[in-house]
Amino acid sequence: MAGSGKTNRLLRRQPAMRRVVLAAAPCIAGGVYFFGWQCLASVVFCCVVGFVTEYLFCRQRGEPVSEAVFVTAVLFALVMPPNVAWHVQFVGMVFAVMFSKEVFGGFGRNFFNPALAGRCFVYICFPVALTGTWVASAPLEGFGALGMWTTATGPDAITSATPMALMKAGAGVPEITSLFFGGLPGTVGVTSALLILTGGWYLFYTKTANRSIILTLIITYAVLNQVFAWLGVEPFTGAVPALLGGGFLFGAFFMATDPVSAPRTPAARIIFAMLIAIFAVVIRNFSIFNGGLMFSILLGNMFAPILDYAVKAWKGRKATAGEGA
């Protein structure tokens, strides 16, 4: 009992956060299978760095560390390249916790999704490490990379681009089965749409993630990509490759639905998701950046407070007009 009380004082229990970590478990397992055990070590490393960073701030405020820091750490590790250096992960995690969360007052007060803010920071600071080369995935057959520390060894281990980058460059669409089941270069947790959907369905079914954000974001993004493909606009290839590639589903289920950095009102959530979809279409296809969804969600986070304010103001004026009539 004494040990339990000490744990409660050290760690703020949050069942919803535990469900998110549980939902991410298939993606963690997929990262190990496709890229080796270094991926699991990266998740653990990010959790330790995130916990220590938040503890240093929470100790000053006399508060326990929130379990949300482990969500930030897990999601951050899953959107990093499998072979990224340890110091890059360290810098990204410290930034994610310190500058996008703790400086604003801690849990529940961050304006941006902390995991994406951390990734954006290292994306800009270490562009070669984040975008220059990618580790080739182990084949889908057999035991994959389960007997390896990392697949970043050998003459054929390094590839120059991800499937989304190749599609954007006009190199054609990868096989849909590879996008769905996995086996292509990419970040740790987004190489298999099937694994993302497995965890994402759990979040959707348990209502841990907001359903209206998920559905609006996916539908809007799919429709826009398909319409542009029908119109023959390059480099659009249709809804299915766009949804399955580049970690879009991971962002839709795990990142855009962050309850703190997303709007609170139902109408604002729908507008928020539509804005992210539009931003993603523009940035992914017409800019020099391949990390379109990352920037899109962070831009959506910027609009979240004003969307809530606008919706509440509109409802207030509507109620006042109704009373006047």
In angstroms, the first-to-last Cα distance of the chain is 62
Please give the model's pTM, rounded to 2 decimal places. Answer: 0.92
Q: State which CATH number among 1.10.3470, 1.10.3430, 1.20.1690, 1.10.10 fits the domain covering 2-315.
A: 1.10.3430
Q: Is the pLDDT of residue 10 over 80?
A: no
Residue 199: C-alpha distances to residues 12, 19, 146, 203, 252 (Å) = 24, 10, 21, 7, 12
CA–CA distance from 282 to each of 131, 186, 243, 290 (Å)?
Answer: 19, 21, 15, 11
Supply the angle between the helices 114-125 and 86-98 in degrees, to the nearest 10.
Answer: 130
More confident residue, 320 or 82: 82
Q: Which residues touch 232 (CB under 8 Å, ≥6 apart)?
A: none
Q: Write down the pLDDT at residue 321.
A: 72
For the four alpha carbons of 10, 12, 13 and 14, in that order, the dihedral sign comes to negative
Q: What is the pLDDT of residue 3?
A: 43
d(CA 289, CA 49): 28
pLDDT value of position 11: 66
Least confident of 14-18, 201-205, 287-291, 307-311: 287-291
DSSP character string of 294-310: HHHHHHHHHHHHHHHHH
Task: Name the band, by pLDDT with cuts 50, 70 and 90, for residue 2.
Answer: very low
Dist. CA 93–CA 70, nearest whole Å: 11
Q: What is the chain's mean pLDDT, rounded? A: 88
Query: Quick one: pLDDT band at residue 139, thresholds 50, 70, 90?
Result: confident
Mean pLDDT of 35-63: 94
3-class secondary structure per residue, 198-267: HHHHHHHHCCCCCHHHHHHHHHHHHHHHHHHHHCCCCCCCCHHHHHHCCCHHHHHHHHCCCCCCCCCCHH
- Map out the domains of the chain as residue ranges: 2-315
Question: Is a pLDDT exceeding 60 seen at residue 291?
Answer: yes
- 71 in Cβ contact with 21 (< 8 Å): yes
- Whether the per-residue pLDDT at 170 is higher than 70: the answer is no
Q: In DSSP terms, which residues pair with 135 in a beta bridge? A: 158
Q: Which is higher by pLDDT, 6 or 231?
A: 231
Instruction: Give the span between the Cα atoms of 21 and 13, in whole angstroms.
Output: 13
Mean pLDDT of 217-245: 92
* The pLDDT of residue 78 is above 60: yes
Mean pLDDT, to the nearest integer, of 208-231? 96
Q: Give the pLDDT of residue 6.
A: 45
Report how far apart, in Å, the C-alpha atoms of 261 and of each of 16, 116, 121 are: 16, 11, 17
Residue 159's DSSP bridge partners are 134
